[in-house]
Structure 1
Amino acid sequence: MDGAEPSSFADGPYDVRAVVAAMRPEAKDGFLLDEVPWEHFPLGDRVREAVHVLHTGNSPFRNGAGVVGGMCADDMRAAAVLAVPFLIRIAADTRHPYRASALAEVSSPARARYFGVASRDELLLHRANTQYDDLYDDYGVEVTWYPASWSVTAARAAITADTALLQPLLDDPDPEIRIHAAYALATAADPDHTTRAAFRTRHAAEPDPIVRAALILATAEATRSHPHPPTTAWVQDQWEDRTQAPEVRLAAAIGWLCLTDEPAPDDLRATVDHLATDERAHTMEALPWMAFAGGTGETGLRHCVRTMLHPEQPEPGDDPWALLH
């Protein structure tokens, strides 16, 4: 943007929100990559090549799906957003060898400041401003000085536009696909609550406890964007239900804490402290929410429990005698 105020580029060819909105369905379905102005965004050519390589079935780890996640980890999302519609179509192709890798990257641009975040206020919160005036109170700018909330907004819009392709993946035979479909759909706009209802429907039929845990976190995340007291009560029921698997109860406890401002009740604290063993913490790293919430020297579950329920405890790296205990 050559030092100009980003607001002056709003709704133009350098506004990734406008570019995503203008993508033709035929271009997305046909992988007409030349119709997308990759060159308008930092490292766009690299992302285009990654999509091409992944689409053609070459290795997803060399210039493939990992490029999108890597750029988001480096706080450069604008070009990565343009890959989202194509990654969704690769994931929806049951014959594609790297569909799981593609799906795992879909929602990376739709989340900002989520690495190591484990607080009640932010773990499941995704602000998506459309006005530049709010940027510095929200996500600020990326390392390239591109407005971060433009990228997040555009990515969520791209996912929302393709919920019809993502929702069937909640029933996929592969549990990894089901988990990452829930993770992606949790960032979609859901004003009519159909996505949240799909999570609940799948949860009722889901045999895998880790996938059920993912569906609860996805339900809670969708409810952060669209508050619904009956759903918050349902999430509470899940952590209180002793017949549920421990992973499900732990996910529900975390989800409920993120949905309310109420002090954590004693029975929730007791439940979490009893169930949150090291073994379960490592098992729950299969959930992207937990995998990305991890802190220095601790799993995502441990980080969430310490931050949400035991803030008086020091971070593992803060204790100089930790290795001697």
Structure 2
Amino acid sequence: MGEWQTNPTFAMCRALAGGADLSSFAGGPFDVREVVAGMRPEVKDGFLFGEVPWTHFPQGNRVREAVHFLHSGGSPVRTGTGVVHGMCGNDMRAAVVLAVPFLIRIAADTHHPHRGDALAAVSSPARARHFGVASRDELLLHRGDTQDDDLYDDYGVEVTGYPAGWSVAAARAAITADVALLLPLLGDPAPSIRIDAAYALATAIDPDRTVRTALRTRFAAERDPIVRAALVLATAESTRAHPHPPTTAWMREQWRDRTQASEVRLAAAIGWLCLTDEPVPGDLRAAVDELTTDERAHAMDDLPWMATAGGSGETGLQHCARRMLHPEQPDPAWCDDPWAPGH
């Protein structure tokens, strides 16, 4: 943390902790939303890392080195996306946001050996407070608008004191700016790429419904049940940010359709619950209870929404089913000590 205290943004964070008005720093050199918006296309396309002010943000040099190493074909786990995921997991997203445009371009390069790892990391900074979240109110929620300083209240601060809402908003804006690079990945030969492309696109700002339309179009052509489930959840997440009653009605049709794959019906049930505040219908409850087998719950952890929703020894699907259908039930007792009695 000593290194972070010498970072030029530390004075801003210290001032905010002392009660300074966040709006007085908006649009300045340490507002990551402004920095991302000002990144020129030639900088992103040419991987001109030296043109990006990494050092304005905590551990920025570390992120720059990691993404440069990844772009050069280095190990994604040790230094590339491992750094990105690790910093987001440690609630330090500001510098990671600057890597998003470069990660997207690596993912779009069909010849890059680590494109899948890059794509899986793209949306990490675009979501905050979502690990272990499985309730109707929170699972697919995007708080606030990209330039709304109320995000400071919605998301609070990162471990460094940096406004977390600014990082999330900047990441979503960066993804939105490169939607044209991400959309073709919905048709990639690799199912994992199609899933992660849907996961990233779900965070895009989509007032004209371009992304949601693409997700629905791909759903009509997709044959893999897990990928279809991903497209349903991505559609629901996008619709949560940009409400569209016909899409909510479509979700209801999917979980009621017994000809659909079980994974699709479960994803649609979860998506519909997150899009409405209606009481849980009896047929939805029955469908989820019937379809949520242990085997299927583990298989659906291939979906990043479900993987991050897990907790207390439950898979993401099991956690969602319990929190959404039986919110009165407490978290199950869980011990991760393999030497504890009974393990």
Same fold by TM-score, threshold 0.5 exceeded? yes
Pick aligned residue for 1:135 from 152, 166, 171: 152
Task: Give % identity.
Answer: 74
Pick aligned residue for 1:236 from 247, 252, 255: 252
Q: Which amino acid aligns with 2:32?
A: V
Q: Which amino acid aligns with 1:202?
A: R
Pick aligned residue for 2:89 from 69, 73, 80: 73
1:8 is matched with 24
Q: Distance in 2 between matches of 1:103 and 1:75?
A: 20
Cα distance per residue 1:222-249 (max 9 Å; x no partner): 0001111100011111100000010000
Q: Distance in 2 between matches of 1:152 and 1:128?
A: 10
Deviates more, 1:4-13 or 1:261-270: 4-13
Would the alpha carbon gap of residues 318 and 94 (structure 1) be closer, same or farther in structure 2, given more than 3 Å must change?
closer
2:201 is matched with 185
After TM superposition, list the pairs within 5 Å mapping 1:282-301 onto structure 2: 282-301=298-317
Does residue 1:279 correspond to 2:295, yes or no?
Answer: yes
- Report the CA distance between 1:133 and its aligned residue: 4.9
2:225 is matched with 209
2:210 is matched with 194
- Report the CA distance between 1:106 and its aligned residue: 0.2
Would the alpha carbon gap of residues 205 and 147 (structure 1) be closer, same or farther in structure 2, given more than 3 Å must change?
same
Pick aligned residue for 2:44 from 6, 12, 28: 28
After TM superposition, list the pairs within 5 Å mapping 1:19-168 onto structure 2: 19-129=35-145, 130-133=147-150, 135-136=152-153, 138-168=154-184
- Report the CA distance between 1:132 and its aligned residue: 3.3
Cα distance per residue 1:67-122 (max 9 Å; x no partner): 11111111111001000000000000000000000000000100000000001011
Q: Distance in 1 between matches of 2:116 and 2:290?
A: 33
Cα distance per residue 1:161-215 (max 9 Å; x no partner): 0000000000000000000000000000011101000000000000100000000
> 8 Å contact 1:128–1:152 — kept in the other structure?
no
> 8 Å contact 2:240–2:275 — kept in the other structure?
yes
Q: Distance in 2 between matches of 1:86 and 1:212?
A: 27
Would the alpha carbon gap of residues 119 and 241 (structure 1) be closer, same or farther in structure 2, given more than 3 Å must change?
same
Does residue 1:223 correspond to 2:239, yes or no?
Answer: yes
Q: Which amino acid aligns with 2:152?
A: L
Q: Distance in 1 between matches of 2:150 and 2:49?
A: 32
TM-score norm. by structure 2 comes to: 0.91
> 8 Å contact 1:44–1:79 — kept in the other structure?
yes
TM-score norm. by structure 1 comes to: 0.96
Q: Distance in 2 between matches of 1:317 and 1:90?
A: 42
- Report the CA distance between 1:310 and its aligned residue: 1.0
2:7 is matched with none
CA RMSD in angstroms comes to 1.3
Q: Distance in 2 between matches of 1:131 and 1:103?
A: 27
Q: Which amino acid aligns with 1:214?
A: A
Q: Distance in 2 between matches of 1:131 and 1:248?
A: 35
Q: Which amino acid aligns with 2:15?
A: A
Q: Report SS of the residue matched to 2:207.
A: coil
Q: Distance in 1 between matches of 2:330 and 2:29?
A: 47
- Report the CA distance between 1:318 and its aligned residue: 7.0
Q: Which amino acid aligns with 1:135?
A: Y
Deviates more, 1:11-20 or 1:310-319: 310-319
State the aligned residue count: 320
- Runs of 4+ residues deviating >4 angstroms: none
Q: Distance in 1 between matches of 2:250 and 2:309?
A: 24
Does residue 1:302 correspond to 2:308, yes or no?
Answer: no
Point out where structure 2 has 5 or more consecutive residues left out of the alignment: 1-9, 17-21, 336-340
Point out where structure 1 has 5 or more consecutive residues left out of the alignment: none
